[in-house]
Amino acid sequence: MSCIMNEAPSSPPGGLSQFMDRRNFLRTSVLTGSSLYLATSKSAVAQATSPDKVLKVALVGAGAQGKRLLESCADITGIQFVAVCDIWGYNRNQTAARIKHTYGACNAYTDIDDLLAKEKDVDCVLIAVPDFLHAPFTRLALKAGKAVYCEKLMANTIELAADMVRAQRETGGILQIGHQRHSNPRYLNVRDNILYGNSLLGRVTHCYGQWNRGVSASVPLTTSKSTEIDSATLTKYGFGSMEEFLNWRFFSKYGGGPIADLGAHQIDMFNWFLKSPPSSVIASGGVDYYDGKDGRAKFELPDNVMAIFEYKLPAGITRAYYQVLTTTGSQAYYEKLMGIDGSVVISESPATNQIYREPNAPSWIKYSEGKDAILARSAASVHNKWWEKPKPWFRAPSWMDVKSDSRESKALEAYELGVTLNRKPHSPHLENFFTCARSKDPKGLNCPVDEAFRSAVTVLKVYESLKTGAKYEFKPEDFKVA
């Protein structure tokens, strides 16, 4: 099982086009002055053209996400994959062959200790193993002097996540956490230009996010007898059975359930957009489907969770509602910010890219015209993508035209977001990491460990509310590591 991502076709290596559409890049950079991603993109260009150093990279964990990281590096210049480590020969051999094909050679390892002992020249380690291994592997790699890109969620417990913060502090190393939306120019456009730069949404009172994935989405994962790992190896590396090894996300020993797997991305976005951790959370959820009955798999962690976070912001309370449902794929996955003047809906899928102006809000025309436009006035294409406008081919019968309330909601004015990403969603984040690894300067990282720690706490405290049934009030010290 892996997160379903909609991948934009990658553009050829080199030049600004590899970061985003050039017209949009210019538009956005003009509007934001020295915006975060303008700075990132400049360093990316410098890196791409720098003859100085080719960074040697090792991949640890060659499962679904490890493979995606490898693919996402295909248009990044100045790096060379030289090694892979995975306990599962099936994934390790496939990935070693791919690396060999692309980069000329690849050393394959079963054990991270072995890799770190032998690959002294490796500069960067990408970690994409189950969550319970993030902290120990990150510590080992940082202590070996490697720059580390570790996948989200930082860990399946707050204690392990805190250990990653400490490991970074102790070593002063480069540690980027794989919350890749932090480097996505589409998300940066929403935060820096729309939400803050021009305050187009007015006061945001509510956020919403969901990742709905139906039961058909290949869970539980299985494999053929011939590719199974022997039980001695599984035991050696801490896995109870092949079923648990493949479906580790649903067991607290290895992962944090769908709320940590999928919610990690979107709850992190609530914090990132609002520039604050929450003040409270109340949640409800349970094992609604994978309960072992009627031939279904039996998983430990809740497959369906709903949570409401409150953020105490200077303008008042913002409420953020989140749901992850594995029993329906209805309306897939996206994040939404709802303000008094407008609402925006975005996801990593470029199809979800709409912004709506409230009828009484100031005009947005100037933001959608000219070379500096950050919005696209394209009601016709917005039309088909969201339920706030009827489909154009749908002619309502006259009986449906009857208003049920004299003060029904007025239709909002539809626009699209004006910045696109013409690469795979992980590429800008990886590129930001390699830029910082090359300069050995952690200050440029788009998702440093302290920020990711606040997201890990935000997500994992959902379980506190699920356990007690009560609202959990965050304390400032929850988000700090001593």
Least distance to ligand NAD, CB of residue 6, Å = 12
Residue number of the CB atom closest to ligand NAD: 63
Least distance to ligand NAD, CB of residue 196, Å = 25
Residues that bind ligand NAD (rule: CB under 6 A) add up to a total of: 26
Least distance to ligand NAD, CB of residue 62, Å = 5
Question: Should residue 282 be labelled a site residue for ligand NAD when binding is judged by CB under 6 A?
Answer: no
- Beta-strand ranges (E) seen in 389-479 are 413-417, 472-473
Residue selected from 60, 155, 165, 445 as contacting ligand NAD according to rule CB under 6 A: 60
Residue selected from 44, 48, 62, 190 as contacting ligand NAD according to rule CB under 6 A: 62
Question: Should residue 278 be labelled a site residue for ligand NAD when binding is judged by CB under 6 A?
Answer: no
**Residue of 136, 101, 140 lying closest to 122 (CA atoms):** 140
- The H-or-E segment that residue 138 falls in is helix 134-143
* 351/358 Cα distance (integer angstroms): 22
Residue selected from 19, 37, 88, 187 as contacting ligand NAD according to rule CB under 6 A: 88
Report 178-207 residues binding ligand NAD (CB under 6 A): 178, 180
Q: What does DSSP assign to residue 388?
A: T
Residue selected from 152, 191, 336, 461 as contacting ligand NAD according to rule CB under 6 A: 152
**Residue of 218, 310, 211 lying closest to 261 (CA atoms):** 211
Residue 22 backbone phi and psi in degrees, to 5: -60, -45
Question: Should residue 353 be labelled a site residue for ligand NAD when binding is judged by CB under 6 A?
Answer: no
Least distance to ligand NAD, CB of residue 137, Å = 7
Least distance to ligand NAD, CB of residue 167, Å = 17
Least distance to ligand NAD, CB of residue 130, Å = 6
Q: What does DSSP assign to residue 132?
A: G
Least distance to ligand NAD, CB of residue 342, Å = 28
Q: Which amino acid is at 356?
A: Y
* 117/144 Cα distance (integer angstroms): 9
Report 400-439 residues binding ligand NAD (CB under 6 A): none
The total of other beta-carbon atoms located within 10 Å of residue 176's CB is: 29
Report 92-151 residues binding ligand NAD (CB under 6 A): 112, 128-131, 133, 151
Using the CB atoms, write b or e for 427-439: b if 16+ within 10 Å: bbbbbbbbbbbbe
Residue selected from 61, 78, 209, 339 as contacting ligand NAD according to rule CB under 6 A: 61
**Residue of 91, 305, 87, 273 lying closest to 179 (CA atoms):** 273
CA angle 263, 453, 42 (to 5 degrees): 90
Residue selected from 41, 65, 212, 458 as contacting ligand NAD according to rule CB under 6 A: 65
Question: Should residue 454 be labelled a site residue for ligand NAD when binding is judged by CB under 6 A?
Answer: no
Least distance to ligand NAD, CB of residue 4, Å = 9
Least distance to ligand NAD, CB of residue 131, Å = 5
Residue 165 near residue 453 (C-beta atoms within 8 A): yes
Residue selected from 86, 123, 163, 303 as contacting ligand NAD according to rule CB under 6 A: 86
Tokens 């696109």 correspond to what residue?
A: 420
* 107/122 Cα distance (integer angstroms): 11
Residue 454 near residue 277 (C-beta atoms within 8 A): yes
Which residues does 106 contact at the CB level (< 8 Å), separation at least 6? 81, 82, 83, 84, 96, 97, 99, 100
Please identify, using beta-carbon distances, which residue of 91 and 318 lies nearer to ligand NAD. 91
Question: Should residue 244 be labelled a site residue for ligand NAD when binding is judged by CB under 6 A?
Answer: no
Select the span of 45-53, 60-68, 326-334, 431-439 touching ligand NAD (CB under 6 A): 60-68
Select the span of 24-32, 63-71, 195-203, 338-346 touching ligand NAD (CB under 6 A): 63-71
Strand-pair category, 353-357 with 204-212: unpaired
Residue 25 near residue 19 (C-beta atoms within 8 A): yes
Residue selected from 14, 30, 49, 64 as contacting ligand NAD according to rule CB under 6 A: 64
Site residues (CB under 6 A) for ligand NAD?
2-3, 60-66, 85-88, 91, 112, 128-131, 133, 151-152, 178, 180, 237, 261
